[in-house]
Structure 1
Amino acid sequence: MIPFSDEDLLGPVKDSLDKIRPMLQNDGGDMKLLGIKNAVVYVQLVGACHGCPSSTSTLKHGVERQLRIDIHPELSVVNIPLGQDFDIQRV
């Protein structure tokens, strides 16, 4: 169980994602933080990362790994594809 509320996680998650963002940008991509609900971080890969065959690996072995190192080992990350409707309230 994660001992933080979703609101408490927002700042640390943003900081952690900022560590990874330059790696994505170097390859012509980036990501947007869409929200956090029940310790699941929802992002959207954009630019060259959108649709990249390696995006799943980047998400799990890059983004999620960094979040778990920096914040808590039970955090997870989910990519919401471009064009897919997303409402954090409905998750």
Structure 2
Amino acid sequence: MDSVLSRVEQALDSLRPYLATDGGNVRVAEITEAGVLKLEWQGACGACPMSPMTRAGLEDTVRKAVPEITAVEAR
């Protein structure tokens, strides 16, 4: 069975081309014992006013692919 991290990375990889279009990316900072995925915005995503909406889309995609993830936080 794939690890949680590898499945999270696969889900994020499906979204990274869209982030890259605007000069951004996202990195997994941590997955807590409680299943909270903590992401770090990179590039243009760090200052983008749309990042809360983008985070919601990332959360939806990741939680569908990896049900063990209970929440997504981005910084």
TM-score class, shorter-chain normalisation, is: 0.7 to 0.9
TM-score scaled by structure 2? 0.85
Unaligned residue ranges in structure 1 (runs of 5+): 1-7, 81-91
State the 1:46 CA deviation. 1.2
* Structure 1 position 74, deviation (Å): 5.6
3-state DSSP class of the match of 1:35? strand
Measured on the aligned residues, the alpha-carbon RMSD in Å equals: 1.5
| In structure 2, C-alpha distance between the alignment counterparts of 1:53 and 1:21, rounded to whole Å | 18
CA change 1:31–1:74 in 2 (3 A) is closer
| TM-score, normalization by structure 1 | 0.72
* Bigger Rg over Cα: 1
Aligned to 1:21: 16
- Which 4+ stretches in 1 moved above 2 angstroms? none
Question: 1:17: how far off?
Answer: 0.9
Q: Give ranges in structure 2 of 5+ residues lacking alignment.
A: none
Distance change >3 Å, CA 73–CA 39, structure 1 → 2: closer
Identity %: 32
Matched positions, count:
72
